[in-house]
């Protein structure tokens, strides 16, 4: 997933505001659904951030073209983990480890059903998934 | 309603990003509800922007303290108009004329009922209202 | 210029937050520069919003694909005006009339030099420009 | 530091968009400077996020009043760590561990000088600092 850095993404420090890298990663997560003509809001719920670790390696500025690469790294009963790296001309500038939990429309965590699990596994490229479900 | 300019409000140009002044005005509109311990989401609908005119007079930067003054200037059957000015140390830096329409929860415009009208008129300070309802 | 509506663009009302349509238009303005491998921050200054009028015709929601069409409508000594329309599947949902003023890096308005004028006229498609410079 | 949740902070899921909790924490970090009538942009540099861990415990929604409590937990030669908790009516809803590095105006990390260290230690309440500088 490729994106451009616009004025709105930057701050007075001249670079991308720190929390906007999380937005870029969220766009990438949603895009894997949109690219299949579906929405990330599924029939019985959706996924929300439960925990994340972010490493800021280098900064991006106005006009930069960035690429977000997402990789599924773990599956549990009610959540899954992604590793999302952001690259600027092949140089990694940001790394996110995010745990996403499946919640119903009252924000209650729920077990990931088999069909939803198959969808997620189809959507996200996976290299080495530790299946703990 | 007073507010502070934070990093997130600025862009790489060193000043507040142009659309964030609209956010500041929206916070001020919501605050008149919150200050009365109620929410801007009413029982049968809420108000959304229909049309606006904005004048950028001077810019604000990181750390500035701003004040938003809102004034009711017109009431119609399904909408009302506010004049919202933003000041920085008594100097006006931004002016917004905004028309807000009352919509139901399917985004359909609806007539403003008498109780909602009375609420709005109570909440927003008014100097010279042209009542066209 | 085409774009997608992501979670970050929406609010609890279920549709795009009103000021984010201005961000979409700003991305489109910047993109005409980026598409030519240049940046909107020129050698001696850049353009900032001076005045705008926005009409909200219909709303967009998560996952919608939008298109922004920009048209140069007037040129003055220190500013120019654009008409920017946002479409969702060929239906116009938002209209922006924006006046952009050329400022130096101290935010002072300055005369648009001939080379900058030629650049702007080349970058933005124009149908009927009233040349008042 | 107390703040209110506005429309702009929420998304179509009905709760605060995940990265906005980071913004709330950043406002709290800047506020400790503003409250002393100084700016977080110091004479020779400023602090930027280097690494962070975030835990989402419960969600906040439109109108909620939140409180951010920041605590200095470690000091190194070029960076320091804060623990920032967000509370809603005394219930912790979000926890951030953030490492902030001192950079010059070319984004290069630099040693924290003694005067800057004293400032930071004065500004942030500290319970148990592991001093590794």
Question: What residues of chain C lie within 8 A of the CB of B19, using their CB?
Answer: 19-20, 22-23, 26
- pTM (two decimals): 0.94
D125, D85 in Cβ contact below 8 A? no
Residue-wise pLDDT for D20-62, tens only, equals: 999 999 999 999 999 999 999 999 999 999 999 999 999 999 9
Residue-wise pLDDT for C55-98, tens only, equals: 999 999 999 999 999 999 999 999 999 999 999 999 999 999 99
Question: What residues of chain C lie within 8 A of the CB of B54, using their CB?
Answer: 49, 51-54
Q: Is the pLDDT of residue A131 over 80?
A: no
Contact flag B53-C52 (C-beta cutoff 8 Å): yes
Shortest Cα distance, chain A CAs vs residue B7, angstroms: 6
- Rounded to whole angstroms, the Cα distance separating B1 from B71 reads 12
With CA atoms as reference, the chain C residue closest to A21 would be: C8
Percent of chain C whose predicted confidence (pLDDT) is above 70: 93
Q: What are the residue numbers of the active site of C?
A: 11
> Among A101-110, A119-128, D35-44, whose mean pLDDT is lowest?
A119-128
Q: Residue D53 burial (CB < 10 Å; 0-12/13-18/19+)?
A: middle
Give C66's strand partners: C3, C88
Report the pLDDT value the prediction gives residue C52, as an integer from 0 to 100.
98
- C-beta neighbour count of C131 within 10 angstroms: 10
Report the pLDDT value the prediction gives residue D129, as an integer from 0 to 100.
46
Q: Residue A75: which residues within 8 A CB-CB, separation 6 or more?
A: A81, A112, A117, A120, A121, A129, A130, A131, A132, A133
Inter-residue long-range contacts of D39-42, CB under 8 Å, 24+ positions, other chains counted: D39/B62, D39/B63, D40/B7, D40/B62, D41/A12, D41/B62, D42/D116, D42/D119
- The two tokens of residue A66 are 């960035």
Q: Which CATH number fits domain A2-131: 3.40.50.12280, 3.10.129.10, 3.40.1440.60, 3.30.260.10?
A: 3.10.129.10
Report the pLDDT value the prediction gives residue A130, as an integer from 0 to 100.
45
Of D12, D53, D56, Cβ closest to residue A49: D56
Residue-wise pLDDT for B34-90, tens only, equals: 999 999 999 999 999 999 999 999 999 999 999 999 999 999 999 999 999 999 999
Question: What residues of chain C lie within 8 A of the CB of A27, using their CB?
Answer: 4, 6, 8
Per-residue H/E/C for C82-122: EEEEEEECCEEEEEEEEEEEEECCCCCECCCCHHHHHHHHH
Of A12, A19, A62, Cβ closest to residue B10: A12
Residue-wise pLDDT for A51-67, tens only, equals: 999 999 999 999 999 99
Would you list the domain boundaries of chain C?
2-131
Report the pLDDT value the prediction gives residue C126, as an integer from 0 to 100.
56
Residue-wise pLDDT for D76-129, tens only, equals: 999 999 999 999 999 999 999 999 999 999 999 999 999 999 999 999 965 544
The beta strand positions in chain D, using DSSP E, are: 2-4, 46-56, 65-75, 79-88, 91-103, 126-131
With CA atoms as reference, the chain B residue closest to A20 would be: B8
Task: Provide the ipTM.
Answer: 0.92
């Amino acid at each position: 997933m490729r994106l451009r850095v616009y004025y709105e993404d930057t701050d007075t420090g001249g670079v991308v505001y720190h929390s906007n890298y999380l937005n870029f990663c969220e766009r990438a997560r949603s895009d894997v659904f949109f690219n299949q003509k579906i929405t990330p809001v599924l029939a019985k719920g959706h996924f929300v951030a439960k925990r994340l670790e972010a490493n800021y390696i280098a900064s991006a500025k106005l006009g930069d073209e960035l690429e977000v690469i997402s990789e599924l790294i773990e599956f549990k009963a009610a959540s899954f983990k992604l590793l999302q790296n952001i690259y600027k001309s092949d140089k990694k500038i940001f790394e996110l480890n995010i745990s996403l939990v499946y919640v119903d429309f009252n924000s209650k965590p729920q077990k990931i059903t088999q069909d939803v699990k198959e969808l997620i596994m189809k959507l996200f490229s996976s290299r080495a998934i530790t299946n703990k479900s």
